[in-house]
Amino acid sequence: MSQFELSKGGANHQKPEGKDDVMTTAQGAPVADDQNWLKAGARGPSLLEDHIAREKIFHFDHERIPERVVHARGYGVHGTFELTDPIPELTRAPVLAGEKGKKTPVFVRFSTVAGNKGSPDLARDVRGFAVKFYTDEGNWDIVGNNIPVFFIQDAIKFPDLIHAAKPAPDRGFPQAQTAHDNFWDFVSLSPESMNMIMWIMSDRTIPRSFRLMEGFGVHTFRLVNEKGEAKFVKFHWKPRLGMQSVIWNEALKINGMDPDFHRRDMWAAIDAGDFPQWDLGVQVFDQAFADAFEFDVLDATKIIPEEQVPVRIVGTMTLDANVDNFFAETEQVAFCTQNIVPGIDFTEDPLLQGRNFSYLDTQLKRLGGPNFTHIPINAPKCPVHHFQQDGHMAMQNPKGRANYEPNSWGAGDGAEANRGPRGCPMRGFTSAPVALEGAKVRERSETFADHYSQARQFYVSQSPVEQTHMANALTFELSKVGRMDIRKRMIGHLRHIDEGLARQVCEGIGLPEMPDKVPAARDPIADLPESPALSIIRNAPNSFKGRKLGIYIAEGADAGVVSALKDAAAKAGAMVEIIAPHVAGAKLSDGTMLEADEKIDGGPSVVYDAVAVVMSEASARRYDADKPSIDFVNDAFAHAKFVAYVPAVQPLFESAGVWKWMDEGFVDVSKPADAEAFIEKCAQLRFWDREAVKQD
The tens digit of pLDDT for each residue in 546-561 reads 999 999 999 999 999 9
3-class SS of residue 100: coil
CB 13 within 8 A of CB 21: no
* CA 607/CA 253 separation, integer angstroms: 9
Q: How far is CA 468 from the centre of its chain?
A: 21
Whether 610 and 512 map to the same domain: the answer is no
End position of a domain, from candidates 322, 348, 374: 348
User: SS3 for 668?
Assistant: strand
The answer, yes or no, to whether residue 9 has pLDDT greater than 60, is no
Q: Could you tell me if 36 and 442 are in contact, meaning their C-beta atoms sit under 8 angstroms apart?
A: yes
Q: CB–CB of 521/449 below 8 Å?
A: yes
pLDDT of 672 strictly over 90: no
Within-domain flag for 134: yes
- Using alpha carbons, select from 255, 367, 330 the residue that is nearest to residue 74: 330
Per-residue model confidence as pLDDT tens digits over 72-103? 999 999 999 999 999 999 999 999 999 999 99
Three-state secondary structure readout of 23-86: CECCCCCECCCCCCCCEECCCCCECCCCHHHHHHHHHHHCCCCCCCCCCCCEEEEEEEEEECCC
- Regarding whether 243 and 96 lie in a shared domain, the answer is yes
Sign of CA dihedral 538, 543, 546, 549: positive
User: Of 571, 669, 695, 661, nearest to 615 (Cα)?
Assistant: 669
Best CA proximity match to 35, nearest among 3, 62, 63: 3
Three-state SS at 42: coil
Interatomic CA distance for residues 602 and 44, integer angstroms? 56
Per the structure, how many domains does the chain have? 4
Encoded amino acid at 531, one letter: S
Whether 128 and 212 map to the same domain: the answer is yes
- Give the count of beta carbons closer than 10 Å to the beta carbon of residue 64: 15
Question: CB neighbours (10 Å) of residue 290?
Answer: 17
Q: What is the CATH classification number for the domain harbouring 595?
A: 3.40.50.880
Q: Are residues 121 and 205 in the same domain?
A: yes
620 and 516 inside one domain: no
Please compute, for residue 53, the number of CA atoms within 13 A of its CA located in the half-sphere on the CB side.
24
Task: Indicate whether 593 pLDDT > 50.
Answer: yes
pLDDT band at 226 (very low <50, low <70, confident <90, very high): very high
Catalytic residue (one of 36, 71, 262, 322): 71
Percent share of the chain, pLDDT over 70: 95
pLDDT of the residue at 695: 42
Q: Is 405 left (phi over 0), alpha (psi -120 to 50) or beta?
A: beta
Examine the domain organization and report whether 655 and 533 are in the same domain: no
Region of poorest pLDDT, from 5-19, 133-147, 289-303, 587-601: 5-19
Q: Tell whether 533 and 667 lie within a shared domain.
A: no
Q: Mind listing the pLDDT tens digit for each residue in 623-664?
A: 999 999 999 999 999 999 999 999 999 999 999 999 999 999
Instruction: Examine residue 409 and state whether it is found in any structural domain, yes or no.
Output: no
Domain extent, residue 245, equals: 69-152+197-348
* pLDDT for residue 684 is more than 90: yes
- 435-450 pLDDT per residue, tens: 988 999 999 999 999 9
Q: What pLDDT, on a 0 to 100 scale, did the predictor assign at position 210?
A: 98
Residues in the chain, overall count: 696
CA dist., res. 695 & res. 52, Å (int): 58
Residue 407 located in a structural domain:
no
Active-site hit among 139, 145, 356, 371: 145
Residue 4: pLDDT over 60? no
**Does 249 fall in a domain?**
yes
Nearest to 38 by CA among 452, 329, 444: 444
107 and 123 share one domain: yes
**Active site annotation includes 71:** yes
The candidate with the shortest Cα–Cα distance to 445, out of 521, 515, 382, 503, is 521
Domain assignment present for 518: yes
Give pLDDT, residue 31.
Answer: 85
pLDDT confidence of residue 525: 96
Alpha-carbon distance of 372 to 354, in angstroms, equals 21
In this structure, the strands spanning 138-145 and 127-135 are: antiparallel
CB contact at 8 A, 192 and 152: yes
Whole-number pLDDT of residue 51: 86
| Of 236-245, 339-348, 427-436, minimum mean pLDDT range | 427-436
Q: Which residues of 381-399 are buried (b: 16+ CB within 10 A; e: fewer)?
A: eeeeeeeeeeeeeeeeebe
Answer yes or no: is 121 within a domain: yes
Nearest to 143 by CA among 68, 52, 49, 71: 71
Confidence check: pLDDT of 20 > 80: no
Q: Inform me whether the pLDDT recorded for 576 exceeds 60.
A: yes
Q: Please indicate, yes or no, if residue 490 is contained in any of the structural domains.
A: yes
Strand partners for 211? none
- 563 and 510 part of one domain: no
19: CB partners within 8 A, 6+ apart: none
Rounded to 10 degrees, the C-alpha dihedral 22/26/29/31 comes to -50
- Does the CA dihedral 81-85-90-93 come out positive or negative? positive
pLDDT digits (tens, 9 = 90+) for 452-469: 999 999 999 999 999 999
In eight-state DSSP terms, residue 492 is H
Please indicate, yes or no, whether residues 577 and 626 belong to a single structural domain of this protein: yes
Q: Are strands 586-587 and 440-441 parallel, antiparallel or unpaired?
A: unpaired
| Domain membership flag for residue 343 | yes
List pLDDT tens digits, range 374-422.
999 999 999 888 888 888 888 888 888 888 888 888 766 665 667 788 8
Q: How large is the average pLDDT for residues 265-289?
A: 98
For residue range 476-488, list pLDDT tens digits in order: 999 999 999 999 9
| 400 CA to centre of own chain | 46
CATH number at residue 462: 1.20.1370.20
CA dist., res. 427 & res. 373, Å (int):
22
Q: Are residues 211 and 106 in the same domain?
A: yes
Dihedral, CA atoms, 473, 474, 475, 480, nearest 10 degrees? 100
**Same-domain check for residues 137 and 238:** yes
Spatial distance between the Cα atoms of 448 and 255, rounded to a whole number of angstroms: 38
* 3-class DSSP state of 129: strand
pLDDT confidence bin for 29, thresholds 50/70/90: confident
pLDDT given at position 463: 97
At 424 the pLDDT is 84
Q: Which of 569, 603, 90 is closest to 345 using CA atoms?
A: 90
The overall average pLDDT reported for the chain is 93
Q: What is the 3-state secondary structure (H, E, C) of 35-53?
A: CCCCEECCCCCECCCCHHH
Is residue 145 part of the annotated active site? The answer reads yes
For residue 420, what pLDDT is reported? Answer: 81
Query: What are the backbone angles phi and psi of residue 635, rounded to the nearest 5°?
Result: -70, -40
Q: Does the pLDDT value for residue 696 go beyond 70?
A: no
Residue 216: per-residue pLDDT: 98
pLDDT at 62: 74
**Looking at residue 693, what is its pLDDT?**
66
Exposure class string for 296-305: b at 16+ Cβ within 10 A, else e: bbbbbbbbbb
